[in-house]
Structure 1
Amino acid sequence: MTNEELLACAKELGTPTYVFDTQTFGARLDAVREIWGPKVDLCYSIKANPFLAPTARAHGYALEVCSPGELAICERDGVDPARIVYSGVCKQAADVREALRYGAGTFTAESLGQLTLVDAEAAAAGVRVPTLLRLNGGSQFGMSREDLIYAVDHRDELAGCELVGIHYFVGTQRAKLKWQQRELAMLADLIDELERDHDWRAQRLEYGPGLAVPLFEGQDFSDTLAPARDIAPELAAIAERVELQVEMGRFLATECGYYLARIVDEKDNEGTSYAFIDGGMNHVTYFGQMMGMKEPRIRNLSHDERVRAGEAADEARDWALCGSLCTTADVLVRKAPFEDLRVGDLLAFENIGAYSVTEGIYLFLSRTMPTVALRDGRGVRVVRESMETWPNNCC
């Protein structure tokens, strides 16, 4: 979005406000699909930003949901349940029953215990649900290779689950292609082993590559789709052997989001210039920011407006940009150059389309939650008004 468009949003909607450009998001969804071709099915992980789920579905993406709340969002949005992958740990019996009632198309099993739970509930409901076995990748998620093989060997004992494939996701912002190459080779070998030694052919592979997207100044923003192109040959190869669905969130959603805030105070302390915004770390989270040591892309919309009006600007100097929370942790940028920064200036934080809108510590200090707006070809519309949090913090 242009500075003029963002400035108009800030003036009309107030601050702090998130603006998510669904046209930018949709264009990226389409670009990834074009790069990988029709043999690779695509899935959007809505935990990255649930407000973008309807756009993802409109562009033909399946949706990965990881909680009962996310499932409720999908039902409210009218999502076709057949295109839902119900993932996540700690599913309870009531959660599984609700997902079965809704008709979730695929379940994942994070453990043998979770597989037993889904199987029992599906059998009680008189249905047989497609189920993916999640393979552990070195964290608390997924089951061990031994448990996965055990489940395959005892698949005939399952009355409610039809084992259809494998789910594998390790983590996010993984910039070295060799990691994904090794994983896909390992998964191909596992698929062969299960067919050869256990007489079970995996029909599907649900794979999360965790591709990296740039977030901070000094990183390469010249071609943010390059990781998708780089991994395309490996995905094409395994898609010839198994039905492949690739799930992503951050890589798809990051670039479409902006966070609008206002400078409300400034001061100098012992040689450091501090500026404070009417938001903070409760609204702004960048993966790997390291307590403000890395500098995200931030536009001073008011400075740009003054330049267009022909006003003279002060020289650039370094500022520490802080939030409104009463904690020394609320430093968004420890050192960033700004020209002509003034109280009242409107700022736009870029590349905030993923996670910040839901990941922040919103109840801390009972601060107001930001407005959320979507921008499409018809204009900008508010989808969530700003909300006071204090009623949730008192008796």
Structure 2
Amino acid sequence: MALSPAPAPRLPGHPHFAYQDGALRVEGLPVADLAREHGTPLFVYSQTAMLSALAAYQRGFAGRQALICYAMKANSSLAVLQTFVQAGCGLDIVSGGELARALRAGVAPEKVIFSGVGKTRAEMRAALEAGIGCFNVESLPELDVLSEVATAMGRRAPVSLRVNPDVDAKTHPYISTGLKGNKFGIAHDAVLQAYRHAAQLPGLKVVGIDCHIGSQITEMSPYLDAMDRILDLVDAIEAAGITLEHIDFGGGLGIDYQGDTPPAADALWQALLAQLDARGYGQRRLLIEPGRSLVGNAGICVTEAVFLKPGEQKNFLVVDAAMNDLPRPAMYEAYHAIVPVQPRAGEASAWDVVGPVCESGDWLGRDRALNVQPGDLLAVCSAGAYCMSMSSNYNTRGRAAEVLVRGDRAQLIRARETVDDQLRQERLLALG
């Protein structure tokens, strides 16, 4: 008896990844065709999905003084950066390397925000020479060093102090950033004194206040709580005679990994702006730094099934992508949906999807129901954020290729890394 057609699996996130005629497509192109042309593992991104996610923020800020700075640590590939820069965004950076990438992508320096707890003097100098818009400063020692660096250059560094509001973002401990036990920001009860200190340093110009409470936040209440605490501080700081030109509310909005239902960006900001208006700050310049919510659901990682390894307790499906390509499961026990590129009809079995890296932590998904054979292509979903940007060369594995799709056109935006690429900066032993 003939098998009925295989049902199309549920795909999280954007509708720009969908099944048509029994095969997964990204926008107008078959994913299998892209894999045949470029090999696997392969990251495939939908540019339309990225711009659709951005549009929700832009709708939310319509009529306001606002700058959306894409948090490029989520995915720092140059073509991704260009996508957002050309759509009017600034960029949020956390290193000197990211500064160089940001400038290469064509961002206006005054639209760059420099975050992070450990900026070096060299990074500070480079950012000042470039003329960036603001340093988000995270400690009193950083204030002192930045003032020294700027004074030696005959500059004044524009600064915003990152506040740790002690608000629980209700997310994974590794991506929570707004609690007392986190390394980020200045403690809420020490903020006013820190602003007084910053205001008297010769190399600094205080321009704003910053807050970021975590990542993959799927509820509105932590944002509302954080906003109230930040606005209380704004009241106190300005009562002390220190003017704040902008208020920066960071990023952190979650995406759909496993049926997650975070608020839409425009709905979130409608609520936040109503609270801002009620406190009398509705006309203040606003900055935000979304990352994952702009790119996470806009990408997949395509991988090929290599071996099936049934066992007494576990069935293992070995694929050619690994923890060096997709670090989130190993780091956070994160969930990514894994679906067939061309579903097979028939009964599925439970598989642990694992990579070839020599670590027990090299897994991409556990107990996944799949009907699969060696040579089949699978798509690891919601892979646009914190995958390629966190990838590595562990086991001397080359980083994957990347393709960006817009409509029925695809562009290779990163060539697959070769062993020669990896060895180029190394030197053989020359000592006797």
Q: What TM-score do you get using the length of structure 2 for normalisation?
A: 0.81
1:85 and 1:104 in contact (8 A); partners too: yes
Q: What SS is found at the alignment partner of 1:213?
A: coil
Query: 1:310 corresponds to which residue?
Result: none
CA distance change for structure 1 residues 205 and 371 in 2, over 3 Å: closer, same or farther?
same
Q: Please point out which of 29, 37, 41 is paired with 1:16.
A: 41
Separation (CA, whole Å) in 1 of partners of 2:98 and 2:375? 37
Q: What SS is found at the alignment partner of 1:302?
A: coil
Q: Which amino acid aligns with 1:330?
A: D
**CA shift digits 1:20-71 (9 cap, x unpaired):** 2112101210122113323143221000001221111111111100000000
Matched, 1:102 2:130: yes
Tell me which moved more, 229-238 or 105-114.
Answer: 229-238
**CA shift digits 1:305-341 (9 cap, x unpaired):** xxxxxxxx332222221111112111222211113x1
Q: What SS is found at the alignment partner of 2:304?
A: strand
Q: Please point out which of 196, 204, 213 is paired with 1:170.
A: 213
Shift of 1:13: 0.6
Shift of 1:150: 2.4
Separation (CA, whole Å) in 2 of partners of 1:88 and 1:283? 24
Give ranges in structure 1 of 5+ residues lacking alignment: 305-312
Matched, 1:300 2:331: no
Separation (CA, whole Å) in 2 of partners of 1:282 and 1:151? 40
Separation (CA, whole Å) in 1 of partners of 2:397 and 2:229? 47
Shift of 1:298: 2.1
CA distance change for structure 1 residues 146 and 318 in 2, over 3 Å: closer, same or farther?
closer
Query: 1:338 corresponds to which residue?
Result: 370
Q: Please point out which of 276, 279, 298 is paired with 1:256.
A: 298
Query: 1:366 corresponds to which residue?
Result: 396
**CA shift digits 1:263-309 (9 cap, x unpaired):** 011121115322111111221244798547x4x222211336xxxxx
1:215 and 1:286 in contact (8 A); partners too: no
Q: What SS is found at the alignment partner of 1:282?
A: coil
2:323 and 2:330 in contact (8 A); partners too: no
Separation (CA, whole Å) in 2 of partners of 1:145 and 1:273? 50
Q: What SS is found at the alignment partner of 1:269?
A: coil
Matched, 1:205 2:247: yes
Shift of 1:358: 1.7
How many residues end up aligned between the 2 structures?
378
CA distance change for structure 1 residues 145 and 334 in 2, over 3 Å: closer, same or farther?
closer
Query: 1:273 corresponds to which residue?
Result: 315
Kindly report the root-mean-square deviation, in angstroms, between the aligned alpha carbons of the 2 structures: 2.3
Q: What SS is found at the alignment partner of 2:83?
A: helix
1:177 and 1:231 in contact (8 A); partners too: no
**CA shift digits 1:242-262 (9 cap, x unpaired):** 321121111111111110100
Separation (CA, whole Å) in 1 of partners of 2:47 and 2:374? 31
Matched, 1:79 2:118: no
Query: 2:385 corresponds to which residue?
Result: 354
Q: What SS is found at the alignment partner of 2:192?
A: helix
**CA shift digits 1:87-139 (9 cap, x unpaired):** 21221211111111111121121111111222222222222232101112321
CA distance change for structure 1 residues 152 and 289 in 2, over 3 Å: closer, same or farther?
closer
Matched, 1:28 2:69: no
2:158 and 2:204 in contact (8 A); partners too: yes
Q: Which amino acid aligns with 1:17?
A: L
Q: What SS is found at the alignment partner of 1:253?
A: helix
1:262 and 1:277 in contact (8 A); partners too: yes
Tell me which moved more, 56-65 or 172-181.
Answer: 172-181
Query: 2:234 corresponds to which residue?
Result: 191
Query: 1:128 corresponds to which residue?
Result: 156
Aligned-residue identity in percent:
28
Query: 1:323 corresponds to which residue?
Result: 355
Matched, 1:48 2:91: no
Separation (CA, whole Å) in 1 of partners of 2:157 and 2:61? 28
Separation (CA, whole Å) in 2 of partners of 1:318 and 1:393? 43
Give ranges in structure 2 of 5+ residues lacking alignment: 1-16, 19-23, 165-177
1:44 and 1:247 in contact (8 A); partners too: yes
Separation (CA, whole Å) in 2 of partners of 1:208 and 1:125? 29
1:122 and 1:128 in contact (8 A); partners too: yes
